[in-house]
Structure formats: structure tokens, C-alpha cells
């Protein structure tokens, strides 16, 4: 039996240190170790294991090269790349790691971080100096404790101005940093005397980042707004903590008569399928636990196996009963998106479409309709692990047309390029403003609009040391090896 490390069947865009440009969504496979020092004998054993896993479970196992044609003494990183089906256009996501425990911890939303997410933009026409524009600060993180918030601008790290030549080294590898902040003045972003010193710490992120209810009686609108950053059900102390927090948010929405919902997923790259189901089940209109949320398609061996074990509908997954569902009071849901909106987020968007109008606002999503699994060696011979794409998903109408680099094209294309970024829930925040406009809610004038500056980010939604978040969907279970 193939052993999946605790959390299984992951939907993902990519793993690790990917730096994704705002206009370029082609991604390179992840490299999760600086160098491979594995001995030749271990390499051969690891590579044989990799081939066995791929030949069994890989969605495109029929496209694998013959094992005898491969160099089994190669680095497992290099060997694994020889197994991938059309890396640039089809399987952009499968990956291998030499530290599966560390990777699994990150999948659980636990990591050692400052707790900042930001986009990088040039400050001058010469494209020399750079600003880091904070779009999110993780609750309970060192950055939040220091007082950093969405909308802040970082210009210097350890006293040195960020530039095209140094930003990578300044923003990566340091456990402690001194940040010098910037401000918009007379149309220019200049350094201030405000500084923050922060040190990384292990943080378990609460994905329910922000929620509020906005009443607009003249427009007949009671608007629920939720910023949700990752599909994670709970933490070690309370396995359902964050799912229950979601339920409480929707209980509040329901009690206050919310009749328009804005779901902000622009920072959400995925997570547990159980939490995706929880969220969709709180939103869907006229849904029941007997209606399909999504379907899976595996390779032919596993389709036969699952259907033999569990019947013809084995790969259909239904909504769950949620007493705080507000769908009966909604005709539509607005979803705010970005290039970083991926996997489980896209599954929620696609899964709700057969049941209600899903209005997307922002940028094209990541384009991830494939699901996969993180697998380790069941004999515990090493810490190597492999993340394998197992198949693809579709909604109740068998629709799954977003699995390309173009992702889901929003109904309203709006680029989040006005800085400083407004606070979540600010009625003039760029994407939220568009949702309110579509609802027929007029703008509220304030000085924030006059103080804005439009920039062109060249890197988006980076987290701490130039890392993008792992984009994934996770489902509990086990993967039975059927290729025996």
C-alpha cells in the first residue's frame, strides 16, 4: 500500500519557491532542496520507488518512458523530471521533495514566517528602486504583533533600499529584519522614519482573515464580506477550529439578513477539500447533502478500483448539510480573484456554478483542475516524498474547462494595482468597489481615492522570503496501490 502522509489527495498549483509574474503564469517545477547529496546507491533505490509510485497512480502513467531507458543513478530531482508528462503545458504541478515532513507541515498551514504577503513594483521610470506593497499580514504573526498591516509599504531592508539587483537577497534568508517604511507624498513614494524590526516565528495561520456585514438600506442590500486565505479546517489543538469559525461567520451573516455575499479569495491558493466543501455548503443555493459538489476522474486503474469498492458513484462528492447556509437569501455570489487564486478556490467557484450565479471579479485564476497526492515511502527508508497528479475534477454539470495557464477568466477584469492597498472592507478598495458597483451601491467619497497611485506589480502575492503560497486541495484518506 502506498502511504500518504496524513493529509492526502492534494490539489495544487505548484510547490515551493515560485516567483510568478503578474502577466506570466507559466511556472517552473519546484526545487525543494538547495543541493542533492544523496549517495548513488540511495539514488537508485529512491528512483526505483519513484517509478513504482508513478507507474501505479500517475494520471498519465501510460505516457511514462520505459524504466530501462532512464539513468537510475541520477539525482531524484532530475530523474523525476523525466517522468513528467508535458511539464510546460499539462503537468505543471507534480514535484519531489527530500524533506516530506517539512513540506507536510507547510501544507497544514504551519510555517516559520514573518507573516507578510506583498507585491513588488518599481518606484521609478528607470526601474531601479522597488517597493514591497503589503496586501496581507497574517493574524498572530510577528509582523502583525509589530503593527504592520495591509496597505503598508516597505522600501528598505536592514537600511538598504530595495532595488532590482538586491531585492532577492534582502528579502530572503534573514531570520530578523529591520524594515523601513514608505509613504505616498505628492504622487511619489518616499521613505519615512518609521521602522519595524521583526523576527520569524512558527505560526499556524487562521484562514478567516476578515469578515464584516455592510448595510445599504437605500439600495436594499445587506452585504456579507469574507476574506478567506486558505482552506484549513483547524489546528493541532482543535481539528475543526477554523471550519467552525467559518460557520460562525455565516451564522452572523444569516442572523443579519445578508442578501449579497462577497467572497474574497484573491489570496487563497487552496487547502483541504473538506473545508472547501464546508464553505461551498454554507453558500450554495437550493443545495442538499444529496447534490453533487464535484466529481473526480482518476487513471483507468483507479476508476475501476474505486467503483468496484464503492459503486458507480464512488467518485461523486456531495455537499454537506450546514444549518447556517445562506443560499436561500442569495441569487448570486461575488468572488474576488487573482492569479494566486487556485485549486480549492477554483473548485468552489466551479462547484457552485451549477446552483447559482457566480460573479468573478479581478484577474484570471491560476488554472488548476488537477488533483494529486503527497506520498512518502511506506518503509520509512528516507525522507523523500513525491507529489503526484492523480486526476482532474469537474462540477455537477461535468464542466472542467479552466485547467490551463489562463485559468478562470473573471466576469469583470480588474487589476489590483492602486497603492497603498486599502483595508479589507473599505468600500473604495479596488476589487470590492467593483462588486459594490455591480450591485448598484454608489461609491463613498473620501480622501483615500485622491491619495492613491497606480503601479504595475512585477511580482505578486509573495510571502516572506519571495515564496508564493503552496496552492493545494487536501482530502483525508489513503491511496491503495492497485498496480501489483
The length of the chain is: 484
Contact 119, 133 (CB under 8 A): yes
% of the chain surpassing 70 pLDDT: 86
In this prediction, residue 35 carries a pLDDT of 56
pLDDT band with cut points at 50, 70 and 90 for residue 93: confident
Mean pLDDT of 208-220: 97
CA distances from 322 to 213, 257, 281, 357 (A): 20, 17, 6, 20
Q: In the numeric block, which cell numbers belong to residue 197?
A: 524590526
Burial 356-380 (b: 16+ CB within 10 A, else e): bebbbbbbbbbbbbbbbbbbbbeee
Q: In the numeric block, which cell numbers belong to residue 52?
A: 513504482
74-83, 175-184, 369-378: range with lowest mean pLDDT:
369-378
Single out the residue of 115, 155, 153 nearest to residue 136, CA to CA. Answer: 115
Residue owning grid cell 503601479: 455
Q: What is the largest CA-CA distance in the chain?
A: 73
Whether residue 51 is predicted with pLDDT greater than 90 in this model: the reply is yes
pLDDT band with cut points at 50, 70 and 90 for residue 12: very low
Whether residue 16 is predicted with pLDDT greater than 80 in this model: the reply is no
Residue 33 or residue 99, greater confidence: 99
Whether residue 1 is predicted with pLDDT greater than 70 in this model: the reply is no
Mean pLDDT of 160-188: 91
Give the CA radius of gyration of the chain: 23
The string of pLDDT tens digits covering residues 400-448 is 999 988 999 999 999 988 899 999 999 999 999 999 999 999 987 654 4
CA 208 to chain centre: 14
In this prediction, residue 465 carries a pLDDT of 74
Residue 484 or residue 65, greater confidence: 65
Q: In the numeric block, which cell numbers belong to residue 13?
A: 498549483
- Mean of the per-residue pLDDT values of the chain: 87
pLDDT band with cut points at 50, 70 and 90 for residue 21: very low
**Whole-angstrom Cα distance, residue 484 to residue 471?**
31
Mean pLDDT of 382-399: 93
The string of pLDDT tens digits covering residues 400-410 is 999 988 999 99
The string of pLDDT tens digits covering residues 324-352 is 999 999 999 999 999 999 999 999 999 99
In this prediction, residue 33 carries a pLDDT of 41
% of the chain surpassing 90 pLDDT: 66
pLDDT band with cut points at 50, 70 and 90 for residue 101: confident
- Give the contacts of 474 (CB within 8 A, at least 6 positions apart): 7, 8, 9, 10, 11, 107, 231, 271, 272, 273
Residue 347 burial (C-beta neighbours within 10 Å; 0-12, 13-18, 19+) = buried
Mean pLDDT of 297-315: 94
In this prediction, residue 10 carries a pLDDT of 40
The string of pLDDT tens digits covering residues 113-154 is 899 999 999 998 778 899 999 999 999 999 999 999 999 999
pTM to 2 decimal places:
0.87
**Whole-angstrom Cα distance, residue 484 to residue 482?**
6
Contact 178, 148 (CB under 8 A): no
Amino acid at each position: 500500500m502506498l502511504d500518504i502522509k496524513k493529509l492526502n489527495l492534494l490539489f495544487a498549483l505548484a510547490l515551493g519557491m515560485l516567483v510568478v509574474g503578474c502577466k506570466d503564469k507559466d511556472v517552473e517545477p519546484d526545487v525543494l532542496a538547495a543541493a542533492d547529496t544523496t549517495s548513488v546507491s540511495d539514488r537508485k533505490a529512491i528512483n526505483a520507488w519513484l517509478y513504482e509510485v508513478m507507474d501505479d497512480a500517475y494520471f498519465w502513467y501510460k505516457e511514462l518512458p520505459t524504466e530501462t531507458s532512464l539513468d537510475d543513478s541520477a539525482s531524484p530531482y532530475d530523474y523525476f523530471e523525466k517522468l513528467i508528462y508535458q511539464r510546460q503545458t499539462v503537468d505543471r504541478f507534480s514535484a519531489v521533495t527530500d524533506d516530506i515532513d517539512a513540506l507536510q507541515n507547510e501544507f497544514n498551514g504551519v510555517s516559520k514566517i514573518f507573516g507578510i504577503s506583498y507585491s513588488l513594483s518599481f518606484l521609478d521610470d528607470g526601474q531601479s528602486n522597488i517597493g514591497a506593497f503589503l496586501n496581507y499580514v497574517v493574524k498572530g504573526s510577528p509582523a502583525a504583533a509589530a503593527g504592520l498591516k495591509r496597505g503598508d509599504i516597505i522600501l528598505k531592508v536592514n537600511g538598504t533600499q530595495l532595488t532590482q539587483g538586491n531585492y532577492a537577497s534582502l528579502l530572503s534568508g534573514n531570520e530578523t529584519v529591520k524594515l523601513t517604511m514608505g509613504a505616498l507624498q505628492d504622487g511619489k513614494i518616499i521613505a519615512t522614519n518609521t521602522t519595524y524590526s521583526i523576527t520569524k516565528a512558527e505560526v499556524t495561520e487562521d484562514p478567516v482573515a476578515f469578515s464584516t456585514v455592510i448595510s445599504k438600506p437605500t439600495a436594499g442590500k445587506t452585504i456579507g464580506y469574507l476574506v478567506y486565505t486558505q482552506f484549513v479546517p483547524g489546528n493541532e489543538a482543535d481539528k475543526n477550529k477554523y471550519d467552525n469559525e467559518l460557520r460562525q461567520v455565516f451564522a452572523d451573516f444569516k442572523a443579519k439578513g445578508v442578501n449579497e455575499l462577497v467572497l474574497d479569495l484573491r489570496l487563497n491558493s487552496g487547502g483541504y477539500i473538506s473545508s472547501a466543501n464546508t464553505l461551498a455548503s454554507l453558500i450554495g443555493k437550493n443545495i442538499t447533502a444529496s447534490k453533487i459538489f464535484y466529481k473526480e476522474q482518476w487513471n483507468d486503474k483507479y476508476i475501476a478500483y474505486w467503483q468496484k469498492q464503492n459503486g458507480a458513484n464512488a467518485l461523486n462528492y456531495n455537499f454537506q448539510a450546514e444549518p447556517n447556509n445562506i443560499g436561500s437569501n442569495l441569487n448570486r455570489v461575488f468572488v474576488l480573484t487573482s492569479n494566486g487564486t487556485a485549486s480549492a478556490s477554483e473548485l468552489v467557484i466551479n462547484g457552485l456554478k451549477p446552483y447559482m450565479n457566480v460573479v468573478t471579479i479581478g484577474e484570471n485564476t491560476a488554472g488548476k483542475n488537477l488533483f494529486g497526492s503527497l506520498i512518502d515511502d511506506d518503509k520509512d527508508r528516507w525522507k523523500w516524498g513525491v507529489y503526484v497528479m492523480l486526476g482532474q475534477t469537474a462540477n455537477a454539470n461535468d464542466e472542467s474547462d479552466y485547467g490551463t495557464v489562463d485559468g478562470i477568466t473573471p466576469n469583470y477584469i480588474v487589476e489590483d494595482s492602486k497603492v497603498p492597498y486599502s483595508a479589507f472592507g473599505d468600500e473604495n478598495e479596488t476589487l470590492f468597489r467593483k462588486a459594490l458597483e455591480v450591485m448598484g451601491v454608489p461609491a463613498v467619497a473620501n480622501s483615500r481615492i485622491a491619495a492613491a497611485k497606480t503601479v504595475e506589480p512585477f511580482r505578486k502575492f509573495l510571502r516572506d522570503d519571495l515564496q508564493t503560497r503552496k496552492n493545494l486541495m487536501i482530502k483525508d484518506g489513503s491511496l491503495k496501490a492497485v498496480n501489483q
